[in-house]
Amino acid sequence: MFRKIRFRFILIAALAISCILIAFIGVLNSVSIVRNNNEINTVLSILSNHKGEFPGTAQVIKEDSNRDINIADINQYQYYSYRLNKDEEVSTVNLKHINNVSQNDLEKMLDKVRLSSKRGIFRYDGHVYSYQVKQNKTNGSYLVVVLDITRFTNERSDLFALSVQMSLYSLVFFILVVSLFSGFAIKPFVENYEKQKEFITNAGHELKTPLAIISANNELQELMTGETEWTKSTKDQVSRLTSLINQLVTLARLEERTDLVFEELDFSDLVQDAAEDFKALVIKDGKTFSMAIEPDLKVRGEHQSLFELVTILVDNANKYCDDEGTVTVRLSRTNSPIRKAKLEVSNTYKAGKNVDYSRFFERFYRKDESHNSQKSGYGIGLSMAQSIVSIVKGKISVHYKGDTITFKVIL
């Protein structure tokens, strides 16, 4: 159980740091993209406003773009421009500020520019280009400026790859650190749980002695005066308290058992034997007993624990089944790719529409909160069933549909 708690602690911590790292990656790369786009748009605007050329002074650039662009950095930009007349025919070309585009390349790239859109992006020969179109309303001609933004896209890709790589390293490092110190984090819970189990076991042993004395004195009183209403009541309460103590001690020891030997069992025969023991009792109470068990279903587990599991579920179904209702035990295979055994124990329960089934596996939980229900039991059985299923690495659930409550176990 503690291994599961520790694993959940590590998992939750890993999910939390993963969310933080994803947010960090998103913000960092978003800022980079916004800054690059702003720079690209600024350069294209400057070029469009100055006939496809950078102006000669930084002051003019600053006044035109409201940004400080160093003249010395202008040479880093690779760009070209050309003009089209009103018939969309090339009239002039300026290729002196780009090295990787020839006249022949330009002719092939003309079709990639859409004059109807003011700005756009296209790819050619492994490079990425961004363009801006400006129309002269006087003569209907167009000025097209094209900027090679391959450097910007490469920087974005490199930054994204680096941020993901560093985040993964950070996540692995964080998981290793949390794994090392998770034992210290859950240590108070472990100590408290161990003390609780120790208290239950010790209290159970201490209470058995006075109960034995009370029972002996009660038997002596019956020998002297015969059985009376009072001695019978005392005997019944001693029996109830003894049963409760035994269940508490069993539950405390069940979760700490490490000596279980798992083997392949014929679960069909086991369920058949355990359920058959209740058939006569169910019919005697005026109810209907139904059983549908698929033969030769094998599971890995421990015979005594699984037998106790089936007993608890069928006994619980009989206790809470409606008068003249039906108790049903079904065993079949699941439809999942990994074929597993599915045990379903159900009973008719018309009063179960507004019941909180999520609490059914809590210790001492009973639908009657006053605990004055005429149904026998202490609300421990289903908690024991859940512990047994956990030990054999299965799953147990409960659901209500059509006036019937069903406990389902997957092994």
CA max distance for the chain? 129
Q: Which of 81-85, 100-104, 252-256 shows the lowest per-residue confidence on average (mean pLDDT)?
A: 252-256
Using the predicted structure, report yes or no on whether residue 24 has a pLDDT greater than 90: yes
Q: Which of 44-48, 343-347, 378-382, 399-403 shows the lowest per-residue confidence on average (mean pLDDT)?
A: 378-382
Residue 400 main-chain phi, psi, to 5 deg:
-125, 130
Q: Which of 68-72, 181-185, 205-209, 401-405 shows the lowest per-residue confidence on average (mean pLDDT)?
A: 68-72
> End-to-end alpha-carbon separation of the chain, Å?
18
Residue 347 corresponds to which tokens in the numbers above? 């009973």
Cβ atoms of 348 and 403 closer than 8 Å: yes
Number of Cβ within 10 Å of residue 237's Cβ equals: 13
Beta-carbon contacts of 299 under 8 Å, excluding residues fewer than 6 positions away, are 264, 265, 267, 306, 340, 341, 392, 411
Residue 220 corresponds to which tokens in the numbers above? 């002596």
Residue 36 corresponds to which tokens in the numbers above? 């690059």
Most confident stretch, 26-30, 244-248, 317-321, 383-387: 26-30
Place 378 in a pLDDT band, splitting at 50, 70 and 90. very low
Residue 278 corresponds to which tokens in the numbers above? 């209740």
Place 308 in a pLDDT band, splitting at 50, 70 and 90. confident
- 112, with CB counted inside 10 A (0-12, 13-18, 19+), is middle
Q: pTM for the complete prediction?
A: 0.53
What pLDDT, on the 0 to 100 scale, is given for residue 377? 46
Q: Which whole number is the average pLDDT over 344-371?
A: 73
Taken in order 307, 310, 312, 318, the sign of the CA dihedral is negative
Q: Which whole number is the average pLDDT over 52-75?
A: 61
353/29 Cα distance (integer angstroms): 52
What pLDDT, on the 0 to 100 scale, is given for residue 128? 94
What pLDDT, on the 0 to 100 scale, is given for residue 20? 94
Cβ atoms of 342 and 331 closer than 8 Å: yes
273/270 Cα distance (integer angstroms): 5
- Partners of 93 in beta bridges: 82
What pLDDT, on the 0 to 100 scale, is given for residue 312? 87
Q: Which of 106-115, 285-294, 336-345 shows the lowest per-residue confidence on average (mean pLDDT)?
A: 336-345
Instruction: Tell me which amino acid residue 378 is.
Output: Y
Instruction: Tell me which amino acid residue 20 is.
Output: I
- Partners of 347 in beta bridges: 327, 405
Using the predicted structure, report yes or no on whether residue 407 has a pLDDT greater than 90: yes
Written as one string, the DSSP assignment of 46-111 is: HHHHTTTS--SSHHHHHHHHSS---GGGGGG--EEEEEE-TTS-EEEEE-TT-SS--HHHHHHHGG
Strands (DSSP E) contained in 217-311 are 263-266, 288-293, 298-301
Using the predicted structure, report yes or no on whether residue 399 has a pLDDT greater than 70: yes
Instruction: Tell me which amino acid residue 225 is.
Output: T
Q: Which of 118-132, 252-266, 313-327, 382-396 shows the lowest per-residue confidence on average (mean pLDDT)?
A: 252-266
Q: Which whole number is the average pLDDT over 40-51?
A: 88
Using the predicted structure, report yes or no on whether residue 206 has a pLDDT greater than 60: yes
What pLDDT, on the 0 to 100 scale, is given for residue 165? 95
Residue 255 main-chain phi, psi, to 5 deg:
-75, -15
175-181-186-190 Cα dihedral, nearest 10 degrees: 130
Q: Of 371 and 207, which is predicted with more confidence?
A: 207
Q: Of 22 and 360, which is predicted with more confidence?
A: 22
The conformation of residue 178, written as its DSSP 8-state character, comes to: H
Number of Cβ within 10 Å of residue 390's Cβ equals: 15
Q: Of 151 and 182, which is predicted with more confidence?
A: 151
Using the predicted structure, report yes or no on whether residue 35 has a pLDDT greater than 80: yes
391/307 Cα distance (integer angstroms): 14
Domains of the chain (ranges; CATH) run 2-155 (3.30.450), 187-254 (1.10.287.130), 263-410 (3.30.565.10)
